[in-house]
């Protein structure tokens, strides 16, 4: 390859997607908990406690205390479980997660692939739950919570930083360094103010059905705000961001219209 051609090669970029209430409409941890409960790996008390904690976390928003609570929930849910047993739950977990995928999310994933970008799920859920899910969606990979394994059993301790809040940013920086992504050219999508570290390190942050904290930040900084409707009618809202952000929101809307797909790709790339 000539030196000039090498100098003008596109810099690799990727799009990073939060999982819960971004790619899917609900909670992956609750799905895991329900399947584990039905398999006899979780008691009724544990399941109800997990549901209560999840609701409280959603209503109260992110904080250091809540993040620590979420970490404890994730680790406690798999502590003492054999790795093979957890993976065996995948046959039931995967279809449930796929049923919850939003059409708009699938459209954005396809648009990024068409634009030559890699795509990743970034989630606090155990990596074993989401890696096969990402593969089923045709995504490049998944970044999740990696728990310590001792003699084939989860110890209840972390092997890597907890993949939530700042931990998501750490995971993204790591894969960007390994794969040569230019973070200024990368995209990130989330619904939660707890994911600000992840959104702030990329050049193209997008708020999806944002909570109040994230919506306030997005409006203040001029980030695109995209609302994925739960009905067939899509509602797209944008901030006062630049024309490129408006084009992105437009691409999301146009994805669902067969006649408008080409226009969507032009405005997105």
Tens-place pLDDT, residues 133-188: 999 999 999 999 888 999 999 888 888 888 889 999 999 999 999 999 999 999 99
Is residue 255 in a domain?
yes
Instruction: List Cα–Cα distances, 93 to 17, 41, 54, 64, 121, in angstroms.
Output: 19, 14, 18, 29, 16
Say what percent of the chain tops pLDDT 70. Answer: 63
User: Of 44-53, 75-84, 104-113, which one has max mean pLDDT?
Assistant: 104-113
Contacts of 24 (CB under 8 A, 6+ apart): 97, 100, 101, 102, 105
SS3 104: helix
Residue 83 Cα distances to 27, 86, 93, 97, 153, angstroms: 22, 5, 15, 20, 6
In-domain check, residue 46: no
What's the pLDDT at 138?
95
- The rounded mean pLDDT for the chain is 75
Note whether residue 32 is domain-resident: no
Q: How confident is the model at residue 93 (pLDDT cuts 50, 70, 90)?
A: confident
Q: Is 153 helix (H, G, I), strand (E, B) or coil?
A: strand
As for how many domains the chain has, the answer is 1
User: Residue 164's pLDDT is what?
Assistant: 87
Rounded CA separation 221/241 (Å): 8
Task: Report the catalytic residues.
Answer: 18, 20
Tokens of 29: 């941890």
Of 202, 181, 195, nearest to 248 (Cα)? 202
Q: Which residue has the higher pLDDT, 232 or 107?
A: 107
Q: Which phi-psi region, left, alpha or beta, contains residue 117 (left: φ > 0; alpha: ψ -120 to 50)? A: beta
- Is there a domain that residue 80 lies in? no
Which residues form the domain of 231?
A: 3-25+101-268
In a domain, 192, yes or no: yes
Residue 124 maps to which CATH number?
Answer: 3.40.50.1000
Paired tokens of 74: 């994730």
Alpha carbons 223 and 220: distance in angstroms, whole number? 8
Q: pTM of this prediction?
A: 0.75
Residue at 68 is within a domain: no
pLDDT of 32: 67
């Amino acid at each position: 390859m000539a030196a000039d051609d090498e100098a003008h090669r596109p810099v690799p970029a990727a799009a990073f997607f939060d999982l819960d209430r971004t790619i899917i409409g609900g909670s992956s941890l609750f799905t895991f908990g329900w399947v584990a409960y039905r398999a006899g790996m979780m008691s009724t008390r544990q399941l109800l406690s997990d549901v209560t904690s999840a609701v409280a976390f959603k209503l109260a928003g992110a904080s250091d205390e809540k993040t620590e609570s979420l970490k404890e929930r994730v680790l406690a849910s798999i502590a003492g479980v054999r790795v093979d047993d957890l993976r065996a739950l995948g046959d039931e977990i995967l279809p449930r997660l796929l049923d919850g995928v939003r059409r708009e999310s699938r459209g954005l994933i396809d648009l990024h692939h068409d634009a030559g970008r890699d795509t990743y799920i970034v989630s606090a859920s155990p990596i074993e739950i989401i890696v096969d899910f990402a593969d089923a969606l045709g995504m490049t990979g998944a970044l999740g919570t990696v728990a310590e394994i001792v003699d084939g059993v989860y110890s209840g301790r972390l092997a890597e930083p907890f993949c939530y809040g700042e931990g998501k940013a750490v995971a993204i920086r790591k894969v960007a360094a390994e794969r040569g992504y230019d973070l200024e050219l990368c995209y990130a999508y989330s619904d939660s103010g707890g994911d600000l570290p992840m959104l702030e390190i990329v050049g193209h942050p997008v708020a999806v059905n944002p909570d109040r904290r994230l919506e306030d930040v997005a409006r203040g900084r001029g980030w695109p705000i995209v609302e994925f409707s739960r009905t067939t009618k899509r509602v797209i809202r944008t901030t006062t961001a630049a024309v490129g952000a408006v084009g992105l929101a437009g691409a999301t809307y146009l994805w669902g219209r067969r006649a408008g797909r080409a226009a969507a790709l032009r405005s997105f790339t």
